[in-house]
Amino acid sequence: MTFRLLCCLLALGAAAPAQAKMFEAESFTLGNGLEVVVLPNHRAPIATQMVWYMVGAADEHPGKTGIAHFLEHLMFRGTKETPPGAFSRIVADNGGRENAFTTADYTAYFQNVAADRLPLVMKLEAERMTGLVLTDEVVLPERQVIIEERHMRIDNNPAALLEEQVDAALYLNQGYHHPVIGWESEMRGLTTADALAHYRTWYAPDNAVLVLAGDITVEQARALAEKYYGPIPSRPVPPHVVLAEPPKVAATRLTMKSSRVAETSWTRSYLAPSYLAGDYRYAYALEVLAEVLGGGATSRLYKTLVVDDGICLSAGAFYDPQARGLTGFGFHASPKRDVPLADFEAKLEAVVKTALTDGVTADEVARAKTRMIAQAIYARDSLSGPARIVGAALAEGRTLDDVQAWPDRIGAVTVEDVNEAARLVIHDDQSVTGILLPQPTS
């Protein structure tokens, strides 16, 4: 399931009282500033704990790229009470699963366990919120681990390498300019002192969100949160700095060839408002626009380029409004080998130009909104999905009401809104085009 569809999941709870009972999302704040959200789901005796820290790669200091992701790794390397490796082993020994992930805007840690093991993982997670122990003996070997991870995930993946370059061209000034995993030249210089500084600056209860989902009541959640997290003192946290993007005055075109790819991949990206930045009143309209132009087999791009003209293997649109700063809106396609790139681009640009000049139709907008809600319905049985959606929204600075109001806000989008949003964002003289081409080995 795409992240956007999961975002619909909890939001559906606001659409009708019968559906709202499935989640019954409630929130409260502890005395130390930790925000707690509870999403009861008693279908199975399983619970999910997620702790979201409101810090990610976009908050890193110049020259220290990758430190947010590096600290995510180091959070598993032991505390005063839990030696290195014991955290994951304890969770596994109790039949649970755990992991963590870092993005540009937040870092999150989660465990899925039997409901009666929830106190155990809450104790472990609360302990490493303030009790992490880091030494060179622990940090330096782990630094080599993240460098090897970069080699595997980025350097050995032509598509990932090109995407990294596209982001660097799209975001000239925002923290999204650099990759979450970091530039290798800077990763090699990260130290124990850097990790401790990041940890002591950002990892505090008043800079975190605790989400508990599954077979738990609000009363149980409150008692457990007070017991394990309540004693942790609050600590001043610096404000997030979202740098302004300078006006784009030229289009950028990046072309990469690789013998590791079999088919051409093409993307074109534009800076766009998010839920929180830019002309954010158009964020919901841009979601609908992405669905109309490239949301599936009946979208304009797919139908024209894949079905009718038969010049592409795939085609679609992308837009993720989940960001503190400006985000990207754009199109992607994989033209067939025997189709000249110029001919393909002319066809795609014609589809987009028609949408800009003639506008999308009221029927297209209505059907897109219906599909978006319908697709989300299939996702609503997920246990951890709502926890991820709520946590991400709150960690980025949005509210529970924002998430729950998603259907109403999508429903209120008009065809005029969608056409205005398209004209606001799509300017090819301000775009970044990324092209990945197969390169013969002989």
Strand-strand pairing, 35-40 and 26-29: antiparallel
Catalytic residue, from 35, 60, 72, 125: name it: 72
Angle, CA of 220, 102 and 191, to the nearest 5°: 115
Q: How far apart are CA 235 and CA 134, in angstroms?
A: 20
Asked if residue 229 lies in contact with residue 126, where contact means CB atoms within 8 angstroms, the answer is yes
Count of C-beta atoms within a 10 Å radius of residue 112: 22
Amino acid identity for residue 192 in this structure? T
Q: Specify which residues 425 forms β-bridges with.
A: none
End-to-end Cα separation, the chain, in angstroms: 39
CB burial class (10 A; 0-12, 13-18, 19+) of residue 39? buried
Q: Is 98 an annotated catalytic residue?
A: no
- Concatenated DSSP letters for 39-79? EE-TTSSEEEEEEEES--GGGPPTT-TTHHHHHHHHTTS-B
Asked if residue 151 lies in contact with residue 256, where contact means CB atoms within 8 angstroms, the answer is no
User: Could you give the residue numbers annotated as active site?
Assistant: 72
